Amino acid sequence: MTASRVLVLNSGSSSVKYQLLDMADRTRLAVGLVERIGEQTSRLVHTPLTGGGARREQTGPIADHGAALKAVAAELAADGLGLDSPELAAVGHRVVHGGTRFTRPTVIDDEVLAEVQKLVPLAPLHNPANVTGIQVARSLRPDIPQVAVFDTAFHATMPEYAARYAIDTEIADRLSIRRYGFHGTSHAYVSRATAALLGKAPGEVNVIVLHLGNGASASAVRAGVCVDTSMGLTPLEGLVMGTRSGDLDPAVIFHLARVGGLSVDEIDDLLNKRSGLLGLCGDNDMREVLRRAGEGDQAARTAFETYVHRLKKYIGAYAAVLGRVDAVAFTAGVGENAAAVREAAVSGLEELGLAVDAGLNSVRADEPRLISPEYARVAVAVVPTDEELEIATQAFELVTH
Ligand code: ADP
């Protein structure tokens, strides 16, 4: 028996999401999450997907990530899926920032872990939790490979002129200021799945991927290779998001400081947590924005229009970057579910060969599907993302090849 299971861990500052997959047949064995770690009201939700077991939930204090992973291990063991099993081939960790060094999935040793730690200033909210998750998983199973899969990696192929900000090169290089891009695992998965939907190899198609979740980013993928993406040094640049502003004139920051009297931390908080849809209308969930806009709420309508306008600008920009576009793929919470966003983002772009069929666009399904009419020159697709499967696939390939 060869080991074929991969545990995927996505460790946040106060949460751990996990999935156990069997890569022999690419099935999920169990999924779950622990949230509010460190509080009195921590919650673990665990769902076994084999053996007919039901969803289980426990609440009560879970002190830290170590205790969280032990609780997860106990849940898995109760389903006969214990992490001590010889069938476990690897643990795949989502790591947000890989800097310029990590452009591929990487087996973690002490040196790699130290390097990931060094990248904390570039991702202060994310990399520390990722490091903790790695340390805890390593202590639980030091004998199996722990693999880091980086959110930035897929974008490492961006040409220099797309990765550079037009600022003093010496300062930029000294402070590692450049465009890295994020959601790379999703952009990689979705661009490949879109090619498959068209019956083509990834190398045969140019795709614009629109990952629209709480965070949102667009990417231009030429023949399977990322050539541009909307997020930059941090996940703040680009599209309008749930709570993040996306693009703005950098002088807005000077103005907030000089005229508004805000500190750097206050501006950081404003632009990352209190802007985007939330800042524009008071709601960050697109479902709520759509409901209110439908009832004629002006602020919600403006929020929707601002969101869609930015999206449309990026579609146009990436059509120009790619020269030839074969497909535009919508993914993540908003992209997969909000037909109104898809319809509005593409409307008026017939000259670019883009159109959406209202009937196809309104269909709900979990499968990748086309929503463009037969005559359209460019395929418009809804392609559900699966970052966990992609992380497991990359980790498993690395340890078995
Ligand atoms: P994350 O970026 O946290 O992984 P998701 O990709 O799950 O998030 O996207 C979450 C967002 O998707 C929610 O905030 C919500 O705005 C949006 N969303 C989910 N379902 C719908 C829906 N049916 N209609 C519109 N938006 C939706």
Same domain, yes or no: 273 and 204: yes
With bands split at pLDDT 50, 70 and 90, how would you rate the model's confidence at 244? very high
Catalytic site residue from 79, 109, 110, 151 = 151
Which amino acid is present at 285? D
Same domain, yes or no: 114 and 28: yes
Q: Whose CA is nearest to atom 3 of ligand 1?
A: 214
Residue 262 CA, ligand 1 centroid: distance in Å? 31
Cβ–Cβ < 8 Å for 217, 229: yes
- CA 285 to ligand 1: nearest atom: 16
Residue 148 CA, ligand 1 centroid: distance in Å? 26
Residue 159 lies in a domain: no
pLDDT (0 to 100) of residue 2? 84
* pLDDT of residue 371 exceeding 90: yes
Measured distance CA(97)–CA(140) in Å, rounded = 24
With bands split at pLDDT 50, 70 and 90, how would you rate the model's confidence at 131? very high
For residue 221, give the CATH number of its domain. Answer: 3.30.420.40
Pocket of ligand 1, candidates 273, 285, 336, 363: which has the most ligand atoms within 8 Å of its Cβ, to mutate?
A: 285
Same domain, yes or no: 100 and 10: yes
Nearest to 81 by CA among 50, 56, 59: 50
3-state SS assignment for residue 60: coil
Q: Which tokens hold the place of 134?
A: 């790695």
Cβ–Cβ < 8 Å for 116, 127: yes
Same domain, yes or no: 365 and 261: yes
Give the pairing of strands 327-331 and 206-212: parallel
Residue 181 lies in a domain: no
Same domain, yes or no: 41 and 123: yes
* pLDDT of residue 379 exceeding 90: yes
With bands split at pLDDT 50, 70 and 90, how would you rate the model's confidence at 401? confident
User: Quick one: 170 exposed, middle or buried, by C-beta within 10 A (0-12, 13-18, 19+)?
Assistant: exposed
Same domain, yes or no: 224 and 355: yes
Residue 213 CA, ligand 1 centroid: distance in Å? 5
Pocket of ligand 1, candidates 182, 304, 334, 386: which has the most ligand atoms within 8 Å of its Cβ, to mutate?
A: 334
Q: How far is CA 123 from CA 35, 85, 128, 205, 237, in A?
A: 20, 34, 8, 32, 14
Lowest mean pLDDT among 12-16, 30-34, 319-323: 12-16
* pLDDT of residue 1 exceeding 80: no
Whole-structure pTM value:
0.95
**Torsion sign, CA atoms 383, 215, 157, 104:** negative
Instruction: For residues 301-309, give the mean pLDDT.
Output: 98
Residue 233 lies in a domain: yes
Last-in-domain residue among 150, 182, 216? 150
Residue 288 lies in a domain: yes
The count of structural domains within the chain is 2
Last-in-domain residue among 150, 172, 189? 150
Measured distance CA(122)–CA(115) in Å, rounded = 12
Q: Which domain holds residue 336?
A: 200-387
Is 265 among the residues known to form the active site?
no
Last-in-domain residue among 90, 122, 150? 150
Q: Whose CA is nearest to atom 14 of ligand 1?
A: 285
Residues of the chain with pLDDT > 70, as a percent, come to 100
Residue 193 lies in a domain: no
pLDDT (0 to 100) of residue 290? 98
Residue 195 lies in a domain: no
- CA 385 to ligand 1: nearest atom: 6
Query: What average pLDDT does the structure give for the chain?
Result: 95
With bands split at pLDDT 50, 70 and 90, how would you rate the model's confidence at 123? confident
Same domain, yes or no: 79 and 216: no
Question: Tens of pLDDT along 195-239?
Answer: 999 999 999 999 999 999 999 999 999 999 999 999 999 999 999
Same domain, yes or no: 305 and 204: yes
Same domain, yes or no: 210 and 101: no
Lowest mean pLDDT among 1-5, 75-79, 263-267: 1-5
* pLDDT of residue 174 exceeding 90: yes
Instruction: For residues 259-265, give the mean pLDDT.
Output: 97
Residue 355 CA, ligand 1 centroid: distance in Å? 23
Residue 395 lies in a domain: no
Question: Tens of pLDDT along 311-341?
Answer: 999 999 999 999 999 999 999 999 999 999 9
Q: Whose CA is nearest to atom 20 of ligand 1?
A: 333
Question: Tens of pLDDT along 62-111?
Answer: 999 999 999 999 999 999 999 999 999 999 999 999 999 999 999 999 99
DSSP tag of 274: S
Same domain, yes or no: 241 and 133: no
With bands split at pLDDT 50, 70 and 90, how would you rate the model's confidence at 135? very high
Residue 394 lies in a domain: no
Show the ligand 1 pocket: residues with CB < 6 angstroms. 213-215, 242, 285-287, 332-334, 337-338
